[in-house]
């Protein structure tokens, strides 16, 4: 009987997708010892937006969350989502900060790093992968899945082979927008198993409604692990339900090693928690948004674009923006739409439409992307686009972080000169988030109150596209 391991994302990507990443640590802890008995392979509990939201909105030390969960979870591995050279922030950090962050994360109890780069530029993953490997952690190299003329099965195999050369322990197919179809899932897993041979983990948001189908077909092709969330925090912009996936796989003859009776007990707990967090939950974010199959725009990106248009009283321009997004994406080398490239493409598309002339006004982030400051784009950017955006400036060819000076000791000294007694973990909070991190360390932030039901942070908007009205639910970025 083939084994298929279950990776449960409830405590990170689940509440990030449906509850605006607002689940408090104190609400996670009571169920952990029971959950730990279920036979889950790994819990994703950290990384993504949790580090930012924990200190900024919940007045929680994100390192404390990791430590407190580790104390209670003895049987199940703990994992996080790491944005390569971006770590859990929104820019590239110097190598010394990356090394220190990964080291402290292992020291505080993490077992598995899932590491990705928005451009699938493996050079941006080297330092974090090598550091985690040196410390004995399991490293899962993630490939951001997207659809474009240059994103072929062969291209994904090539990226996976580059990751294999860095000696990652497994490969994750990371489908952040829910675009992975059952057919492609089967073909891609089959190719990766044949050409690369490493264990394959499937990660696919339920956004389009195809995720469970893609998972089953991927398992048939040889996938070793699948990502799920406990049913009360599943589906919509989240992931397939853990319980349903376990039942289906067991019935199909796969050994998950997971105890359904324990999961049902855990489900009761999260059902109550869902009620507690109802103010963060937009009911429409639990319904598949099949428009993503047409526009291929992840929820978090959609929300940013709509917020911009609302601010400018230009919601009537949304159809133009939706047509402009794929053009900008093509101009910028067919970048995958995931943090931070989704925001870069979305903002530039809105500006192009509002100004009425393409690239007359260009954001710093768009310039940096064209300049190579985020890494190598999947397809080369055309010379005329480079000229229009950069003028006489030339893009860089090397790894962006090679241009960065070491910053950990400098930041540590700054905090000490302010009279703050800090640990290395505190310095890292400040390195990653200098403004909100400093306020947090000074004790100047407070936990935000729970919103009233119906006041969902993620938000729902009614938009008109090509004469038809749609309700669009949105979710935060990865």
Q: Are 62 and 429 in contact (CB under 8 A)?
A: yes
Q: How far apart are alpha carbons 280 and 454 in whole angstroms?
A: 8
Can you give the pLDDT at residue 301? 73
Whether residue 116 is found in the same domain as residue 249? yes
Whether residue 251 is found in the same domain as residue 375? no
pLDDT at 473 over 50: no
Whether residue 364 is found in the same domain as residue 436? no
90-118 confidence digits (pLDDT tens): 899 999 999 999 999 999 999 999 999 99
pLDDT at 77 over 60: yes
Q: How far apart are alpha carbons 90 and 400 in whole angstroms?
A: 14
3-state secondary structure of 356: coil
Q: How far apart are alpha carbons 337 and 340 in whole angstroms?
A: 8
Whether residue 224 is found in the same domain as residue 100? yes
Whether residue 378 is found in the same domain as residue 421? no
Whether residue 238 is found in the same domain as residue 349? no
Residue entry with tokens 């829910």 = 178
Show which of 252, 282, 312 is a domain's final residue: 282
Whether residue 360 is found in the same domain as residue 299? yes
Neighbouring-strand partners of residue 470: 463
Show which of 239, 264, 282 is a domain's final residue: 282
Alpha-carbon distances, residue 289 vs 202, 446, 464, 471, 473 (angstroms): 20, 34, 15, 9, 8
Confidence of residue 340 (pLDDT cuts 50, 70, 90): confident
Can you give the pLDDT at residue 476? 45
147-183 confidence digits (pLDDT tens): 999 999 999 999 999 999 999 999 999 999 899 999 9
Q: How far apart are alpha carbons 127 and 133 in whole angstroms?
A: 10
Q: What is the CATH number of the domain that holds 326?
A: 1.10.472.90
Alpha-carbon distances, residue 7 vs 80, 105, 254, 307 (angstroms): 11, 19, 15, 34
- Classify residue 270 by burial, with Cβ atoms within 10 Å: 0-12, 13-18, 19+: buried
Domain assignment present for 107: yes
Q: What is the CATH number of the domain that holds 164?
A: 3.20.20.70
Q: How far apart are alpha carbons 425 and 391 in whole angstroms?
A: 41
Can you give the pLDDT at residue 190? 98
pLDDT at 466 over 70: no
Q: How far apart are alpha carbons 239 and 233 in whole angstroms?
A: 8
Q: How far apart are alpha carbons 197 and 215 in whole angstroms?
A: 19
pLDDT at 351 over 60: yes
Q: What is the largest CA-CA distance in the chain?
A: 65
Domain assignment present for 446: no
Q: Give mean pLDDT, residues 415-428.
A: 97
pLDDT at 467 over 70: no
3-state secondary structure of 206: coil
- pLDDT exceeding 90 applies to what percent of the chain? 84
Domain assignment present for 456: no
- Please state the length of the chain: 478
CA 399, 404, 405, 408 dihedral sign is negative
DSSP 472: E
- Classify residue 417 by burial, with Cβ atoms within 10 Å: 0-12, 13-18, 19+: exposed
3-state secondary structure of 113: strand
pLDDT at 25 over 60: yes
- Backbone φ and ψ for 244, nearest 5 degrees, come out as -65, -40
Whether residue 386 is found in the same domain as residue 240? no
Closest CA to 202 of 249, 152, 259: 249
Structure tokens at 418: 């302010």
Q: How far apart are alpha carbons 144 and 449 in whole angstroms?
A: 35
pLDDT at 472 over 60: no
204-253 confidence digits (pLDDT tens): 999 999 999 999 999 999 999 999 999 999 999 899 999 999 999 999 99
Q: Give mean pLDDT, residues 382-389.
A: 96
Whether residue 128 is found in the same domain as residue 40? yes
**Exposure pattern of 218-230 as b/e (b: 16+ CB <10 Å)?**
bbbbbbbbbbbbb
Can you give the pLDDT at residue 458? 45
Whether residue 155 is found in the same domain as residue 70? yes
Q: Mean pLDDT for the chain?
A: 92
Q: Give mean pLDDT, residues 50-54.
A: 97
185-214 confidence digits (pLDDT tens): 999 999 999 999 999 999 999 999 999 999
Can you give the pLDDT at residue 300? 63
Closest CA to 478 of 289, 341, 322, 294: 341
Whether residue 242 is found in the same domain as residue 135? yes
Q: Residue 433 is part of which domain span?
A: 407-441
Can you give the pLDDT at residue 460? 41
Show which of 249, 282, 315 is a domain's final residue: 282
Whether residue 326 is found in the same domain as residue 254? no
Residues 6+ away with beta carbon under 8 Å from 288: 178, 206, 207, 208, 209, 235, 236
Confidence of residue 337 (pLDDT cuts 50, 70, 90): confident
Q: Measured in whole angstroms, how far is the alpha carbon of residue 64 from the centre of its chain? A: 21
Structure tokens at 245: 């996936």
262-301 confidence digits (pLDDT tens): 999 999 999 999 999 999 998 878 888 887 888 777 766 7
Q: Measured in whole angstroms, how far is the alpha carbon of residue 211 from the centre of its chain? A: 16
pLDDT at 470 over 60: no
pLDDT at 471 over 90: no
Q: How far apart are alpha carbons 446 and 28 in whole angstroms?
A: 20
Q: How many CB atoms lie within 10 A of CB 467?
A: 6
Tally of structural domains, the chain: 3
Domain assignment present for 365: yes
pLDDT at 254 over 80: yes
Pairing of strands 112-115, 225-228: unpaired
What is the SS3 assignment for 374-393? CCCCCCCCCHHHHHHHHCCC
């Amino acid at each position: 009987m083939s084994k298929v391991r279950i990776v449960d994302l409830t405590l990170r990507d689940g509440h990030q997708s449906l509850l605006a990443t607002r689940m408090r640590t104190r609400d996670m802890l009571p169920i952990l010892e029971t959950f730990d008995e279920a036979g889950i392979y790994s819990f994703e509990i950290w990384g993504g937006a949790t580090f930012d939201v924990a200190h900024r909105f919940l007045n929680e030390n994100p390192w404390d969350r990791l430590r407190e969960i580790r104390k209670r979870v003895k049987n199940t591995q703990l994992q996080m989502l790491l944005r390569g050279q971006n770590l859990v922030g929104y820019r590239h950090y110097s190598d010394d900060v990356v090394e220190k962050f990964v080291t402290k994360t292992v020291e505080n109890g993490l077992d598995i790093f899932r590491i990705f780069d928005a451009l699938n530029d493996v050079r941006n993953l080297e330092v974090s992968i090598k550091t985690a490997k040196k410390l004995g952690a399991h490293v899962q190299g993630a490939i951001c899945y997207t659809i474009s003329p240059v994103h072929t099965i062969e291209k994904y195999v090539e990226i996976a082979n580059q990751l294999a050369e860095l000696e990652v322990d497994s490969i994750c197919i990371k489908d952040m927008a829910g675009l992975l179809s059952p057919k492609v899932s089967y073909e891609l897993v089959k190719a990766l198993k044949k050409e690369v041979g490493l264990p394959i983990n499937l990660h696919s948001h339920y956004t389009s409604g195809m995720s469970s189908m893609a998972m089953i077909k991927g398992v048939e092709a040889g996938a070793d692990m699948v990502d799920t969330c406990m049913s009360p925090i599943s589906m919509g912009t989240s992931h397939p339900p853990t319980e349903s996936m376990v039942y289906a796989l067991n019935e199909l003859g796969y050994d998950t090693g997971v105890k359904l009776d324990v999961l049902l007990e855990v489900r009761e707990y999260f059902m109550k928690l869902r009620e507690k967090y109802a103010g963060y939950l937009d009911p429409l974010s639990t319904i598949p948004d099949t428009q993503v199959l047409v526009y291929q725009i992840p929820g978090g990106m959609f929300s940013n674009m709509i917020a911009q248009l609302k601010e400018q009283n230009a919601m009537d321009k949304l159809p133009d923006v939706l047509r402009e997004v794929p053009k900008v994406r093509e101009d910028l080398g067919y970048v995958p739409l995931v943090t931070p490239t989704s925001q870069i493409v979305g903002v530039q598309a809105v500006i192009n439409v509002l100004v009425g002339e393409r690239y007359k006004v260009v954001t710093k982030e768009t310039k940096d992307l064209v300049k190579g400051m985020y890494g190598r784009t999947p397809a080369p950017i055309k010379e005329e686009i480079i000229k229009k955006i950069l003028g006489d400036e030339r893009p860089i060819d090397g790894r962006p972080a090679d241009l960065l000076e070491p910053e950990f000791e400098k930041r540590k000294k700054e905090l000490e000169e302010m009279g703050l007694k800090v640990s290395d973990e505190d310095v890292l909070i400040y390195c990653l988030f200098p403004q909100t991190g400093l306020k947090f360390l000074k004790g100047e932030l407070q936990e935000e109150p729970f919103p009233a039901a119906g006041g969902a942070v993620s938000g729902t908007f009614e938009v008109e596209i090509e004469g038809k009205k749609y309700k669009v639910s949105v979710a935060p970025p990865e």
